[in-house]
Amino acid sequence: MDSGKINILDKLKSKEAIDIFKQNKINTAVVFGSILTENFEEYSDVDIAILSKNKITTDVIMIMEESLEKLLGRDVDIVDLKSEDTQLNMKVSIYDNGKIIYDDDHCKLYNLDYMEVERVYKENETFRFFRERDLIFDE
């Protein structure tokens, strides 16, 4: 892993970042996306998924993004894993490939949400199969 990525990940685990998560009542923060791959570049943004027992408003997400952007010196995109707007496939990908950078409850909320996402994903497996098949044959 190159030093730029290591520096960013270290900053995300720093007291400053932890304070940002705590101030906004975040229980778990997970980094995902290009920062965990070879595709991360000088101008890549940093993708972070958050979980909270509390409802997270768009305003809170924007404040957190701004604070973390100042800390990291680059764009940050935050996704709320509890939001209905976050697509199921994205949630599954984050849970499968993401890396926890902050947690304040020994992953209790993370594990509960993971199990719920997995349950919903499996319940909809047949639907996804037929929907993908329909899309392929419609072309």
What residues have CB less than 8 Å from 134, skipping those under 6 apart? none
Fold of the CATH domain 3-137: Beta Polymerase; domain 2 (3.30.460)
Tens of pLDDT, residue by residue over 66-125, are 999 999 999 999 999 999 999 999 999 999 999 999 999 999 999 999 999 999 988 887
Tens of pLDDT, residue by residue over 24-66, are 999 999 999 999 999 999 899 999 999 999 999 999 999 999 9
Task: Please state, as a whole number, how many other Cβ atoms lie within 10 Å of the Cβ of residue 64.
Answer: 22
pLDDT of 121 reads 87
pLDDT of 132 reads 62
* 42 close to 28: Cβ distance less than 8 angstroms: no
DSSP of 86-111, one letter per residue?
S-HHHHHHHHHH-EEEEESSTTHHHH
